[in-house]
């Protein structure tokens, strides 16, 4: 559970970075922003497996009849929406 919370925090930070409307004022600044964006894309691509793992775990818990199925479904949906 802690790992999932840490991942959600990381996802929120990345979302905040993407929502910044910063535009470079010169070519050098544009290049820096482009590199940051490319690094972020790579990081997101390498972390996709975590979302898959969480979805698989949530599905298994639901199939096993966990009593907190509503909370599991809600958290799974929140993660997928954020992703």
Burial (CB < 10 A; 0-12, 13-18, 19+), residue 50, is middle
What local confidence, expressed as pLDDT, does residue 2 receive?
46
Q: Is the pLDDT confidence value at 14 over 80? A: no
Domain ranges of the chain: 36-83
- Which tens digit of pLDDT belongs to each residue from 19-39? 677 777 889 988 998 898 899
What would the pLDDT profile of 45-80 be if each residue is shown by its tens digit? Answer: 888 888 899 999 999 999 999 999 999 999 999 989
Mean pLDDT, rounded, for 40-47: 86
- The secondary structure element, H or E, covering residue 47 is helix 27-63
C-beta atoms surrounding 58 within 10 Å: 20
């Amino acid at each position: 559970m802690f790992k999932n919370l840490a991942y959600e925090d990381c996802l929120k930070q990345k979302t905040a970075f993407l929502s910044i409307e910063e535009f470079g004022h010169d070519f050098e600044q544009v290049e820096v922003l482009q590199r940051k964006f490319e690094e972020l894309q790579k990081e997101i691509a390498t972390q996709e497996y975590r979302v898959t793992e969480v979805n698989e775990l949530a599905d298994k818990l639901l199939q096993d009849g966990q009593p907190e199925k509503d909370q599991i479904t809600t958290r799974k949906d929140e993660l997928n929406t954020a992703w």
